[in-house]
Amino acid sequence: MNRKSTTIKSVRQIPANNAQRHTTADEKPRSKRPVIRETLSESYRLVWLAEDETSNIIPVANVRSVANDFKHFQNAKECIEYLKQSENTIFLVCSEKFGPLIVPEVYQLKHIWSIHIYNNDIQNNPHFVHSYSQVKIIFAKTSHLLESLTKDVQQYLKQEKFAAVMGTESQGNTAEWCDDWWLRYIHLLCYLPYPEDYRLQIIPLLRDYYDGVSSKLATVDELEKNYKSENVIWWYTRATFFCELLNRACRQHNIELSFLFGPYVQDIYQQLKKESDAFKEKRSSETPKMHVYRGQVMPTYEFNHHIASNVMNNSLLSTSLNRKKALEFISLGTMKDDYIRALFEIEIDLNEITRPYALISHLSEIPYEEEVLFMIGTDFRVQPDSLEYNDEDKVWVKKLRLYNYHKINDINKFDTTITERRLKDCVNDLFDENQMKYVTDSEMNCFRDIAKIYCNLGECYHTHKKDVKTALINYRLAITNYQLAIPLARDDYEKTSLLEQLTDVYSLKMDIKTNENESKQDYAEFIKCKQLSGENMLKYTSLNDSSFRDRLMEPGWIYASNRKYDEALNIYEHVIDIYLKESELDYDWIIRKVSDVIEIYTERKNDYNSALKYQLIKHECTLKQNQANLTDSYDKSQRKKRYIADEQVELADLYTKLHCYKEAHELYDAALKLRQELSDRFVRHEEIQDIQEKIESIRNNIES
């Protein structure tokens, strides 16, 4: 999890007249591509204030190995002005001469991470620094200076590693809310059909930016020659510029830089998706839920804001299965006064449909961290009242829950499409196209887009113009194009979406009075589309969701409300029979739905034989739902007995109508005993008497 990351949303362009970057005679001229250089610029900068040229003290290449961006000033006033205007995190180095002038002026600036006083004279100790704990004195040896600066920069990068997880709108924070447009843009990067060698586009820019820094250039060469898609996670976990630049581009919503990283983002997404399936399958067999942990040193003001927020990461998010590892990460070294240590505990339901995440230890350069990596745009929910301070670990603990990602189509829509179709769908995700150039190209499936346009036109004519004639023309054209689009659907997800949209058009069309034959046909097609949509969703959605089950039942309710009971029964019985095969059942839902079936058979069709099957199902579910439990309160125990007794009476009544008097008598007798055990608050005397009369009425039939 030692991932380098930065904090600011955008990099400020420094006016050229403030100070020029130092170059030596033997150093190559820098590229005059300011936009690209600004794009690649790091969020932290080394500022050097001394009368001597930097290169007279330490080679420029050595300085840039610590911080690629640095500025040299020879005037204290200009340096102070620059520091007060800068939005970068600053590591300041100044000579002993300028120390008393500059330190009191800039010490309180929040973006000044550390201040080093470089003193050539070991006999001359600058006593003024004792009042400033943030100031470090380095005597004589440049190696000591570089070592101290390197340590500070690494500590800064580690403390910013959690960037972009919490939701906030404040520019400059370590995190910000993940805007919807950004998620769509990242989604485009994950599926855009790049040219085969497009990943190499960033290589010359990196060479230009890191010119003269041999260690960075060696990594650039390695990226160019040795990179493979299957090793992208390994590249991401390495302590190189790769992870830092990628995450910074995401946090800053930097379109230019993130697009250059697009092929790598796509590789990460595809590998995470593949690993996610295997990870969930393995873990869910052990337990349906698990926890991961994220340690973070963060500003107090940000933490106070985040504890009340929902969470969506706008860059890749690293966590650990090991709580101790997460705590070790935030226990390293010292931290600034306005920072706190926080531990985020994330609960994961492995059965939820979410953005990809996976354990990447076997792919990582750092396997011992037990890292679970989450894709950009993963949604979390803050658990209410879960904030607590752990005295033993000296951290604030906040609990989160991985949230179900409802846009199923977004996860699956591009997996089985041709290149041209994928490109078109990517663009449509960003822009609401009203027209397409090749409207008859079936491979592009533009019929869907055309249908949407006709539907919108129909609504405009109907609602705003009150022109029902033209509205009907457009609705009919919309229906025709949706019917052409459905057979060309790329997968079941898109087919379901198209059927739902076609259902909406029929609903709009039925609001307009047409001739009787057309109205009947529209009604039939409306019901048919609803059924097909539900049946199609069964291929990829679980019936554990009650709202989905109700959606499958909806055509049955429509039939029943129009007294088409045979059609209604076909749908009710089909859905109930499918759901009864599930391993875990919602007894409340089953009891309600079979009651609807029983009512139709008994009240509308007088078919008691068919009703018996569902009355027995209801009876069995009632018994299971109301099993006695040692922890039940007195009232709860009484209610359960009442429910069972009522159900036994209902089943007995049905047996009586079927002349099955022996079975009816047994049930009446059991119900009578239960009702007699109830207190007066839970049963009326008349109800006991009613059962006794029913028993008496069938006694002669039993004896005969």
For the segment 221-254, what is each residue's pLDDT rounded down to a tens digit? Answer: 999 999 999 999 999 999 888 988 898 888 888 8
Distances (CA, A) of 183 to 93, 172, 528, 679: 40, 20, 35, 60
Buried b (16+ CB within 10 A) or exposed e, 522-558: beebbbebbbbbbebbeeebebeeeeebebbbebbeb
DSSP bridge pairs for 388? 397
Question: What pLDDT was estimated at residue 212?
Answer: 82
Residues 614 and 597 sit within 8 Å (Cβ to Cβ): yes
pLDDT given at position 206: 92
Query: Residue 420: pLDDT band by 50, 70, 90 thresholds?
Result: low
pLDDT tier at 322, thresholds 50, 70, 90: very high
pLDDT for the residue 651: 97
Please calculate the CA angle 608-613-618 and round it to the nearest 5 degrees.
110
Comparison of pLDDT for 203 and 379, the residue scoring more: 203
Residues 690 and 652: their CA atoms lie apart, in Å, by 13
pLDDT tens for each residue of 58-117: 666 677 777 777 888 888 899 999 988 887 788 988 887 888 888 888 877 878 888 888
pLDDT score at 130: 61
Note the pLDDT of residue 665.
Answer: 94
Token pair for 85: 């205007």
Q: What is the Cα–Cα distance from 345 to 393, expressed in whole angstroms?
A: 14
> In which residue are the tokens 């609960």 written?
347
More confident residue, 583 or 427: 583
| 487 has pLDDT over 90 | yes
Architecture in CATH for domain 42-159: 3-Layer(aba) Sandwich (3.40)
Q: Quickly state the pLDDT bin for 462 (edges 50, 70, 90).
A: very high
If you search the block for the tokens 């919490």, which residue do you land on?
A: 166
Contact (CB, 8 A) for 360 and 372: yes
Average pLDDT along the chain? 81
Residue predicted with more confidence, 683 or 126: 683
Residue 535 pLDDT level (bands cut at 50, 70, 90): confident
pLDDT of the residue at 601: 96
Please determine, for residue 698, whether its predicted confidence score (pLDDT) is greater than 70: yes
Average pLDDT over residues 29-49: 62
Give the per-residue pLDDT at 198: 92
The residue-averaged pLDDT of 383-396 equals 87
- How confident is the model at residue 169, as a pLDDT? 34
Homologous superfamily of 180-406: Toxin ADP-ribosyltransferase; Chain A, domain 1 (3.90.176.10)
Q: Show the CA angle centred on residue 236, arms to residues 230 and 239, nearest 5°.
A: 135
pLDDT, residue 109, reads 82
Percent of the chain, pLDDT > 70? 79
Q: Per the structure block, which two tokens stand in for 375?
A: 């894709």
What pLDDT does 20 receive?
37
Residue 443 — pLDDT band, cuts 50, 70, 90? low
Distance CA 272, CA 372 (A): 10
pTM (whole model) above 0.75: no
Q: What is the pLDDT of residue 44?
A: 80
